Structure 1
Amino acid sequence: MLNIADTLHHWCREERPFALATIVDVHGSTPLPAGTSAAVDADGNAVGSISGGCVEGEVYELCRQMLAGRGALQRAWFGYSDQDAFAIGLTCGGELEVLVQRIGPATQPHLATALAEMVRGRPTTVAHVVDGPDRLLGATLSVLGDSWIADDVLDGQPTGHVVADRATAQLRAGRTALASLGGDADTCPERLSVLVHGAAARPRMLIFGAVDFAAALSHAGRFLGYRVTVCDARAAFATAARFPHADEVVVDWPHRYLEQTTVDARTAVCVLTHDAKFDIPLLRLALDLPVGYVGAMGSRRTHDERLRLLRENEVTEAQLARLRSPIGLDLGARTPEETAISITAEVIAHTNRASGLPLSQRTGPIHEPTARGLGDGPAIGHTYAAVPVSPPAAQGAAAP
């Protein structure tokens, strides 16, 4: 649901009924992962995709049937059949299970609150009861940070607490899952199936250096779902007007900002300053932090000099092995836009532990099974609401 949260939030605020189709299970090679959603409103407008085109028509019709009153929930399975070349299925050979549910006025105010948090990039889960006693079908609960809210069916009920516990666990994982609950006479005697849409906080991309390459990279990073920060000590260059796609623009010395900001294993640090007085203290710190990616721009000569200076500053060989320098993949990039693609391609490959080779030069499945969970990183095509850019300071940052 995260991939279309922006549009769904808009529809909920308009009290527009819609049908939501979500991939709840996948096997083999499929175009999109579990947790991806598509939706159709009462006027037939569609948003999102669950298969990249293979079964969209069939899913669209299922959504229209839901909106016409033919049930509130339906599961559909799509695979590949050699026996019937004209059957609706996945040409990639994979299998997926889709859950289609109708979202009406009773659920929308509650769902709108959760979707608003999602589009702001805040950790959120939304849980729908999709199987169980009739009185519970469609009941909704959301976990918003450290608290949870529920509709009248689940609020204050023991069953609500059980659903909230599972939704909280999925919030920590940042994943979408179909969970079986209940059967315990003391806590939840009724057996339920609950679809939990998990949305972890957006991963961060920290771009240091307010240069043209940073403007293009901030655009690409935002497109990929990162919460993008551009930082530079020079107030004349670090302005919101120059970086409209950044979530925030910070005027500060790069290493000082990195010392005080929050990072995690999904954070990408991209150093474009190309100036040793900024690069060395910044990289020395970045390579000692538990971030997912550290890259630095520069020529081969700059790279060699940078390594020498980092070693002089007691950066270990193990730490230097983490540094992606010169930054990016070899695409022959020259313009800022091409360079941004080169850098983000390397970030994606590094995040997914992929080779970065052309698929035509590889054999085997295109999508290798990995331990990466839904929400662990951004995905192309995810959309997010605009987030205000913080105003830069009026003057340059004082040297530390």
Structure 2
Amino acid sequence: MENVAETVSRWRAEGIACALARAVATGGSAPLAAGTAMAVSATGEVIGGVSGGCVDGAVYTLCQEVMAHGGPATAVFGPDGDELLAVGPTCGGSLEVLVENVPPRGGHLVDRVTLALREGRPVVVATALDGPRTGEWAVLVGTALVGNDDDDEASPHPGGHRGDDSREHPGGPIRARAAEMLGRPGTAVVASPAGRVFVQSLAPPRLLVFGATAFAEALVRMGALLGYRVTVCDARPVFVAPERFPAAAEVVRCWPHEFLRRTRVGPSTAICVLTHDPRFDIPLLTEALRTDAGYIGAMGSRRTHTERLTSLREAGVGESELRRLRSPIGLDLGARTAAETAVSIAAELVAHHRGGTGAPLTGLEMAIHR
């Protein structure tokens, strides 16, 4: 959704109308999760997709119809879906899709969502799925909840009217659920007095890359593609030229351990140490292993890893903390180039985040989408 929202905001800035489609519910072995988005511009451009391709053609047509008549539309694809569409996921799963018209001018909360994500702030979007208010948004950023037609951030009923519970859609009862989900990426369909509301929490995870190396150049691109908000940090001025890392949200010249002490780190943060120099690695990893970062990996040979463990123990790092360190970093792909190594690291990040085994799917009996 993040990349699609960014593109929709760009189209709006260019005066181009578009339609936004989102998978709001999935079942069975649907290839993509709820919250996945696709947008189609009035000029015919496409960004994203709501399936593995099996229903995207039908959704493209639906987007064009929505742009033509202006109102939102929903469709269900799959065994129990709309037979008139005569299409469904080939995997046997099902999905419900909401398509909304996004005008080229005027206020639309997609721009507020895009701005929050650019700034690295988590945001929750609540969208009405039923009734006359279908397609209306409310957005929670921090403690501010704003609706489509209500810019009063203190209003408890964005998109509705104060004191009129019958029209409270998607504010009021949804606010507590949105606040609960803020900062925890995920989706939910919640019942409200006026009907169902699709609630989507967007919180771009952080990828902190230490060491402005050739490996970092490749990993930054890969991390951004995976949806991370990437920061590159190195203490050496000659290597931290921002133009080397165009996909990074920020490039910082600082001693790595000092930067880590003052930046925000949480369970969704991944730390990749690519400096391969004990002057940087030991103070940095000593600091990193005492944070609650979800992933901490360091580059180096097995000999380097053994020496590093000794130095970390001497620095007072405990055994339980050392067990969190993924070193040598990455999965065994036989990687040799910087790009291949970045794929290896990115693959381990995905496996760690999603609970994958890292083993070839061929020969595994478990479901592909768990």
Q: Does 1:143 align with 2:154?
A: no
Question: Does 1:34 find its partner at 2:34?
Answer: yes
**Which has the larger displacement, 228-237 or 167-176?**
167-176
1:63 corresponds in structure 2 to 63
> What are the Cα deviations for residues 33-92 of structure 1, in whole angstroms up to 9, with x where unaligned?
1001112233443322111210112112222222232x82333222259xx9x9522121
Alpha carbons 2:298, 2:327 under 8 Å: kept: yes
Report the Cα distance in structure 1 between the residues aligned to 2:331 and 2:366, rounded to whole angstroms.
23
SS of residue paired to 1:236: helix
The runs of 5 or more residues in structure 2 that have no matched partner are: 151-158
Output the CA distance in 1 between the equivalents of 2:275 and 2:41. Answer: 47
* CA displacement at 1:150 relative to structure 2: 2.1
Match of 1:194 in 2: 197
Alignment CA distance shift 1:94-1:199 (3 Å): same
Partner SS for 2:50: coil
Equivalent of residue 287 in structure 2, options 266, 280, 285: 285
Could you tell me which residue of structure 1 aligns to residue 327 of structure 2? 325
User: Deviation at 1:270?
Assistant: 1.0
Residue of structure 1 equivalent to 2:154: none
Query: Which amino acid in 1 is paired with 2:224?
Result: R
Figure out how many residues of one structure are paired with residues of the other and give that number: 353
State the match for 1:115 in structure 2. Answer: 114
| TM-score of the pair, normalised by structure 2 | 0.87
TM-score (norm 1): 0.80
Where 1:102 maps in the other structure, the secondary structure is strand
**Structure 1 residues 110, 343: CA separation in 2 closer, same or farther (over 3 Å shift)?**
closer
Match of 2:155 in 1: none
Which amino acid in 2 is paired with 1:74?
Answer: A
Partner of 1:392: none
Task: Give, in whole Å, the separation in 2 of the partners of 1:57 and 1:108.
Answer: 29
Cα–Cα, structure 1 residues 33 and 263, in superposed 2: closer, same or farther, change >3 Å? same
Of 351, 354, 357, which aligns to 2:353?
Answer: 351
- In structure 2, give the amino acid aligned to 1:78: F
CA distance in 1, matches of 2:110, 2:367: 37
Shift of residue 198 of structure 1? 2.6
User: Structure 1: which 4+ aligned runs deviate by more than 6 Å?
Assistant: none
For 1:302 and 1:88, the matched residues in 2 are separated by: 55
Q: Distance in 1 between matches of 2:311 and 2:113?
A: 48
- Residue 8 of structure 1: aligned partner: 8
The 1-side partners of 2:160 and 2:92 are apart by: 43
C-alpha contact 1:8 1:115 (8 A) present in aligned 2: no
| Structure 1 residues 113 and 356, CA gap change in structure 2 (3 angstroms) | same
The structural deviation recorded for 1:109 is 3.6
Is 2:170 the counterpart of 1:168?
no
Letter in 2 for 1:336: A
The one-letter code matched in structure 2 to 1:111 is: V
User: Which residue of structure 2 aligns with residue 378 of structure 1?
Assistant: none
Equivalent positions of 1:229-244 (< 5 A) are 229-244=231-246
Taking a change above 3 Å as real, the CA distance of residues 196 and 290 of structure 1, as seen in their structure-2 partners, is same
Displacement of 1:23 after TM fit? 0.7
